[in-house]
Chain A
């Protein structure tokens, strides 16, 4: 089954404690992306990657890091989380089918930073 998986699904942590949210896709997609969703703000893109070892900042990259060492994985790293990073995070992957992107979204990771 084609899917994007994220782990963990829920996480409570404290300010400053490094954490990583993993994202994996089994569709051999080149493009992967991280979003955060906040009430009243919709989805905002954090980082994206067009292929292995190629990453770029989205609209809200501050406080986040990513890496793309393998095609299937795109982890999101918070080196020193702060309360304003409390949010719902979505990973997505896609390929250009020539008639528009079909982006597949993961189920989301709900993060609370105390």
Chain B
């Protein structure tokens, strides 16, 4: 079955880069996503990558996908205190199938 694993916690200093890692088990995954959840709020889609891509960059965010190792990472450049949140990795097999989430990585950015 589908399974998505993430480390639970990451702490960085303001201005450093953050790298949040995720592994998944289903090699049929079509789309992989990163969501951000700020305290008391719902989930916000940050970015996604299609499985035939290796990398996607969007301003301070860089997503790397290693299909061979089933490893996905999210790099946040110049991390700010406003980036403190829980980050969820998620996968889906097709446009409308079940979205499977990891348990989330709490990112804490200290001044």
Binding site for B on A (CB under 8 A): 4, 30-31, 33, 35, 40-45, 48, 50, 58-59, 90, 92, 96, 99-108
The answer for the CA separation of A41 and B33 in the assembled complex, in Å, is 18
CB-CB < 8 A to A101: which residues of B? 31, 33, 48, 92, 95-96, 99
Number of interchain pairs (Cβ within 8 Å): 56
- Within 69-111 of B, Cβ neighbours of A (below 8 Å) are at 88, 92, 95-96, 98-104
4 extra A-B contacts, CB within 8 A, seeds A40-B103, A44-B101 = A43-B43, A101-B31, A101-B48, A108-B40
CB-CB < 8 A to B42: which residues of A? 4, 90, 105-108
Binding site for A on B (CB under 8 A): 31, 33, 40-45, 48-50, 88, 92, 95-96, 98-104
Asked whether B103 lies within 8 Å of A41 as measured between CB atoms, the reply is yes
CB-CB < 8 A to A42: which residues of B? 88, 101-104
**Shortest beta-carbon distance from A4 to chain B in Å:** 8
The answer for the CA separation of A107 and B37 in the assembled complex, in Å, is 10
Secondary structure at the A interface, as helix, strand, loop or mixed, is strand
**Shortest beta-carbon distance from B37 to chain A in Å:** 8
Of A40, A45, A90, A108, which contacts B98 at CB under 8 A?
Answer: A45
The answer for the CA separation of A59 and B31 in the assembled complex, in Å, is 19
CB-CB < 8 A to A31: which residues of B? 96
The answer for the CA separation of A104 and B43 in the assembled complex, in Å, is 8
Of A45, A99, A104, A107, which contacts B99 at CB under 8 A?
Answer: A45
Asked whether A100 lies within 8 Å of B96 as measured between CB atoms, the reply is no
Provide 30 A-B residue pairs closer than 8 Å at the C-beta atoms, listed in order of the A residue. Answer: A33-B99, A40-B103, A42-B102, A43-B88, A43-B101, A44-B101, A45-B100, A48-B98, A58-B98, A90-B43, A92-B43, A96-B95, A96-B96, A99-B50, A100-B31, A100-B33, A100-B48, A100-B50, A101-B31, A101-B33, A101-B48, A101-B95, A101-B96, A101-B99, A103-B43, A103-B99, A105-B44, A107-B41, A107-B42, A108-B40
